[in-house]
Chains A and B, each alone.
Chain A
Amino acid sequence: MLYSLGISFFEFDRVAGKWNFLGLGNYKEILSDKVFWSSILVTGVMVGVALIVEVVAGVSLAIFFGQKLRGSKFVRAILITPMILNPVVVGLMWRALLNPQWGLFNWFIGLIGIDSPPIWLADPKWSLWTLIFVDIWQWTPFIFVVVFARYQALPTDVFESARVDGASPLKIIRYITLPLVSSAVVFAAIFRGIDSFRTFDLVYGLTFGGPGRSTTTLSFYSFENGFVYYRYGFASALSYIMVIMATIGFSVLLKWIPVRRNH
């Protein structure tokens, strides 16, 4: 880690094969780089939207599966599968599904009457939302598993006495279930948030940062500089900015959570 901090002050000269000292040059260049700012925006939108949807969907799923329907165990097994899949393969898979010529997804929504769907991945207006959608598909199960595990561990008598007292199912969820699982939700959300902040492999598989810069996340931008353009110093400096952002974000979150718990 210190090593990478070190090289973030340098620039690698491939022709001469040596390192030139730049001081804060890399950092200055990043801060005046348009792509950097756009990738912050992309990352921000992605983390924000995906996280909110995943938490809401994951918690709803957990409550839904609390009903113990027949066959739900089997469906649960299916549901866990997306999150253990290799994100690059997930990206490829969705690229096939969303293919403008023969993707099954467009055929499917054609059946319900949408005839001219957008070109999901190639249209800068839609590509980020498509990326977010796939992220949601893959990672909602994570929130679900964590919350569901906590939900299952709760003592059942609380629910029973509430039911005996005549509380409606919605009221039980609002006043009993949600407060009791909230710590698990927070835990899952933090982990998800951090992981989605560094999302790289899904972008790699799905859109390769494009079209244009519409899906270039910070992680992907750093990868591109390091691996495609061999700008190791620049890539390291960029990752350091990410680490700093993550640390600040994380400590702010940690401060905020206990506050929430008191309510």
Chain B
Amino acid sequence: MTTLSRVASRTVSYVTLIVIAIVGIFPIAYLFLLSTKRRIDIGDVPPSLKIEWSVVVENYKEVLFERSYVSSTINTLIITSVVVILSLLIGTPAAYTLSRLKIKGSERISTTILSLRFMPPVAVAVPILLSMRFLHVANTRIGLIIPYVAFSLPLVIWILIGFFDEIPTEIDEAAEIDGANKWRTLLQVLLPLVRPGIVVAGIFAAIFIWNEFLIGMYVIDSEALKTVPIADAGLISAQRPIDWNVAATVGVVTLIPLLIGSMAIQKHIVQGITAGAVK
């Protein structure tokens, strides 16, 4: 290859790279920009890039306090943490069992668990609502936590099985020879080894909850208990026109925790998807 054509192909590559970056980031940047506008300035095409801080403060104040996104965010954080912790507490031993102990039909159990993922949430939303009513926990945090744990578990178990399978069984055997029983093997030997898997599974469960609103919309009625996605969904109704500056601000408020989270844990996300892909 001549130097000239090499330079040319490099340039093409970099231009492509920049285009990809713009296509990926542009809509999100636009959302940020809209959230800094007054209602009447939304119609300016192209929008001016000048940011008036007083308008920014006003928009965010409305969303955070008047629309109580602060409490929604805290609420979501509480629910997310409880669900993640519970799913990991139940999911880790379950994944260990399915990966290690030779129970009759364990293959079948794991495929069944995986197939639960293919259920459309719409299919179970109504039954979940009715079951939660039956348990008298509809419209409470617990009523949301129970179905969310149920939904996260297949994912958590499935990711963790992959991680447990990667650990050679010789390690278990060595621990057993040293006199550890199954629980001690799991807790003291295997758990540290699957820690990345646990992180990944937790992240996926958290992302799921941060985006789930369908079941939430059925189960939760009261304003105070709404999670962020449920509140977001309430913003849209077919009849009323949307206040775009507020909507954009809501969008930004929803995105920020996820963006911060994902920047911090990007490596793990990729790892988690890979863990699935390797299987």
A binds B: yes
Chain A residues near B16 (CB-CB < 8 A): 64
Q: In the complex, what distance in Å separates the CA atom of A240 from the CA atom of B29?
A: 40
Binds B, one of A23-31, A94-102, A155-163, A171-179: A94-102
* Bound-state Cα–Cα, A90 to B248, Å: 10
A213 at the interface (CB under 8 A from B): no
CB of B30 within 8 A of CB of A146, answer no
Complex interface: stretch among A45-53, A115-123, A124-132, A194-202 = A194-202
Is A4 interfacial (CB 8 A cutoff)?
A: yes
The complex places the Cα of A91 from the Cα of B213 at a distance, in Å, of: 14
Determine the chain A residues whose CB is within 8 A of the CB of B217 once the complex forms.
227
SS class of chain A's interface: helix, strand, loop or mixed? helix
Contact B211 A239 (CB under 8 A): no
Cα-based distance from A222 to B121 in the complex (angstroms): 10
Which residues on A sit within 8 Å (CB–CB) of B115?
247, 250
Residues of B within 8 A of A218 (CB): 120
The segment out of A34-42, A67-75, A255-263 that lies at the interface is: A67-75
* Given A93-B30, A201-B211, CB of A4 within 8 Å of CB of B20: no
CB proximity of B171 to chain A, nearest CB, Å: 23
Q: How far is the CA of A218 from the CA of B115 in the complex (A)?
A: 19
Q: Quick check: B236 and A7 within 8 Å, CB to CB?
A: no
Q: Does B276 contact A (CB under 8 A)?
A: yes
Contact between chains at A149 and B277 (CB < 8 Å): yes
- Given the interface pairs A4-B126, A235-B122, A239-B120, the reply to whether A86 lies near B258 with Cβ below 8 Å is yes
Contact of A88 (CB < 8 Å), options: B30, B125, B127, B233: B233
Q: Report A-chain residues with C-beta under 8 Å of the C-beta of B259.
A: 81
Do residues A96 and B34 form an inter-chain contact, with CB atoms below 8 A? yes
The count of chain B contact residues (Cβ–Cβ below 8 Å) is 68
Verify if B23 is at the interface (C-beta below 8 Å from A): yes
A89 and B255 in contact (CB under 8 A), knowing A81-B262, A82-B24?
yes
Indicate with 1 or 0, residue by residue over B247-276, a CB within 8 angstroms of chain A CB atoms: 110110011001100110010011001101
B270 touches A97 (CB 8 A): no
Cβ-defined contact, A1 with B218, below 8 A: no
CB-based contact B122/A93 at 8 Å? no
Tell whether B238 is near chain A: CB-to-CB under 8 Å: yes
Interface pair A200/B126, CB less than 8 Å apart: no
A226 at the interface (CB under 8 A from B): yes
Q: Is B105 an interface residue (CB 8 A)?
A: no
Does A22 lie at the interface of the complex (its beta carbon under 8 Å from any beta carbon of B)? no
Judge if B101 is at the interface, Cβ distance under 8 Å.
Answer: no
A-B contact pairs, 12 of them (CB 8 A): A1-B127, A82-B24, A86-B229, A88-B236, A89-B250, A92-B235, A101-B43, A149-B277, A153-B278, A223-B122, A236-B126, A250-B115
B interface residues, Cβ below 8 angstroms from A: 13-14, 16-17, 20-21, 23-25, 27-28, 30-31, 34, 42-47, 115, 117-127, 130-131, 207, 210-211, 213-214, 217-218, 228-229, 232-233, 235-236, 238, 242, 244, 247-248, 250-251, 254-255, 258-259, 262-263, 266, 269-270, 273-274, 276-278
Ranked nearest first, the 6 interchain pairs of A and B with the lowest CB-CB distance are A239-B123, A198-B120, A4-B127, A149-B274, A3-B127, A89-B251
Where the two chains meet, the residues of A that have a C-beta atom closer than 8 Å to any C-beta of B are: 1, 3-4, 7, 61, 64, 67, 69, 71-72, 74-75, 77-82, 84-97, 99, 101-102, 104, 107, 137, 141-142, 145-146, 149-150, 153, 184, 187-188, 194, 197-198, 200-201, 204-205, 208, 210, 218-219, 222-223, 226-227, 232, 235-236, 239-240, 242-243, 246-247, 250
Apart from the given pairs A102-B45, A153-B274, 12 other A-B contacts in the complex at a CB distance below 8 Å: A3-B130, A4-B123, A78-B21, A82-B28, A84-B207, A84-B258, A86-B228, A93-B28, A104-B47, A200-B121, A235-B126, A250-B118
